[in-house]
Structure 1
Amino acid sequence: MMSLMTASDPVPARPEVALDPPLFTGAQGTGDLQFSYLHQVHDLSLDCIKIVSDEGTLLSMNRNGQKAMQVDDFSTCQGSDWLSFWQGEARGLMLAAFERARGGQAAHFSGFCPTMKGEPRWWDVTLAPLVDPAQGGTGPLLVVSRDITAEHLAREALNDLNARLHEEVQRQTESLRRERQTLLQTNEELENIAYSLSHDLLTPVRHMLSFARLARTADTDKRERYLGIIERSAEHLSTMIDGVLRFSRAGRHPNQRQAVQLDTLMREVQTELAAQPGARPVQWEIGDLPTVDGDAAQLKQVLLALCHNAVKFTRDQPQPVVRVQAHRDAAEWRVEVQDNGVGFDPQYGHKLFRLFQRLHHQNEYAGAGTELATVRRLMDRQGGRVYADGRPGEGATFGFTLPLAAS
């Protein structure tokens, strides 16, 4: 980026450039008026105008061009290699345009070139031959560079704004998708609760009412048996109501996301299960558990529920074994609790995480059928999912996933 001449430079001999039609005609010498006009345009132009040899040597630069390029003394850069001013991505564009202009055709490119003092500038550059190639040979080139730094920075700012807007739209879209999914799940849960209230919860109530009526007219022995049935039905009803309340609270607890060490939570779960009344010895096989991003209290509740479920359904095994391990996939952790208990028919596995759904009779294995539904609700709020697999008499595997923490 350099200059045709400075005000103090002597006027050089005019280059052989044919101007047709002439710019001025009159009594005075037409050539002198033409040259004077071109000299004024050259010096008054706000663009950076240079004459560069066909080898790339900088011959001259106008005064405003020197200001734009922050040239304090043109003599220090006159005769330097103008081609070397361009580096990086712009260099290839410049060389292609330079060769085109040397071949006799006007050329154009845009690119980055800092000033002589290192300030960043972006330029829109036009190159044209000063000698008609039809006359034979090559000659110097006219190079006109327009400072487009402001436009470039504005365009970059606009692109950056568009990118951030796109990211925000994506984020809001994902947030709406999650909210929609949550609403769908909430509607499903409400339907399950409504169904349970009208069926499952009414069953023990009907038992109590029926046997209470029978107890009024029964003899002493039967009355005691009926009262026992009423008591057990009331206890079962109480358990179911407690389960519904826990299920409901699981959806209201605010997420407090942090780095959570699952191995620490697992040790707490083992301690709590061992302290429960009537707890049997269990062989625990705990693999390496990761640190994940999530709510510690909710994740502990999930592990406690799955491990309690595994211990419960290994009750009839002479040597109950519960294995807890984690696997890392491309985008998530899979944490699995596996047991050697009674198992279940896999074709009904999709029902296990619904409220009050059971694959074993209440008389065989106690419980309200709400723990796994609560696990599913908690994992929905953690951004994960739940799954189950099993075979009758061969044990079961219950697992959940968690997205990998953002690095």
Structure 2
Amino acid sequence: MDYGEAVVMPGLIDVHSHLDDPGRAEWEGFPSGTMAAAAGGITTLIDMPLNSVPSTVSEETLKLKTKAAKGRIFVDVGFWGGLVPDNAVNTETLERLLKAGALGLKSFMVNSGINDFPMTNSSHIKAGLSVLAKYKRPLLVHAEVEQEVENDLDKADSPRSYSTYLKTRPASWEEAAVKELVELAKDTRPGGSADGAHLHVVHLVDARSSLQLIKEARSRGDSITAETCPHYLAFSAEEIPDGDTRFKCAPPIRDSDNRDKLWDALLDGDIDMLSSDHSPSVPQLKLFDEGDFLRAWGGVSSLQFVLPATWSYGRDHNVSLDQIASWWSERPAKLAGQDHKGSIAAGKQADIVVWDPDVEFELDDNHPVYLKHPSVSAYMGSKLAGKVMATFVGGNLVYKEGKHAAMACGALILAATDE
């Protein structure tokens, strides 16, 4: 196949995506989510353990996930398990979940918004790390700890204003959580009680204090990494219109100065990788009550758009194709324990995206979008560059010029154990 001057690159690996299947497939689902992924050049997804029903916190609930995905996925899909208080104190449950194939665990240090996925404290995380050390798998953490808000809301603060939502979730929440995590990360050093485990901070936004704490921990030899997301690099708080709850997410999109610092950190290697944090919902939850930021569902629907978004906004920062491949393929493969993926080389799986960085397009009603609810995406209405021409998964052509393969031929990814 001759693609002329197009870019041929390792397929993207998205280590942070919510497909909500089973139980909330009306929000997204394995077929629509993986079709969108393939159209966006993503060849591997690691599905998060919450927003589906039930949450993936045991061997039994992981089996429900794999059953729902089997024969219905257009890209390869793996699964993070959930670390919650109940299984943190029951190592047998955690071990069974990991032996069943969970690639690692995910926890929240703040209310997740999902009833069967309660938040964890430092004791729970410490227990989880001890179990993960045995299997040499990572713990991914939503790093926010609720703090008393200094500037209480008053009657003048409109719930339709993004600045009102921003007041309720300041950067100090991230800083407080990361402070706790870097203390726990000391155990991941060689000879520590969690040697073999790894801490990964998901969707880092605070590019000031929180980032500095992570940099210092790494310099001491702690096993800790961080990701951020294209929507934190593309948008800024000042630009979000009143009532446009498509932009609501947690942690929040912060100011333009913070956005510039995130770019600096990513380019300098202090942030390791990118992920989508695709977190969709039905329109009636996302576009709540004509734009109420305090009550709308939080999450940016983005799965199909992350490659062109990274390229489009990265051009102003002289981002190279090699950097994109590192942020979206090589490093995510390592985090997820998928050493056979992440690069184009002899012996690696043939996961490949072909795309044209020079083609610009409008994300409007005329552009084919495979997400279940395109209207809830903050990217709709944008002009982006970087058209995906073809996507190969395991050597199979799964997407080409607006058409998908006749069969959903993606594979389930389950971690292997020696036991």
TM over 0.5: no
Pairwise TM-score range, normalised by the shorter structure = under 0.3
TM-score under structure 2 length normalisation: 0.19
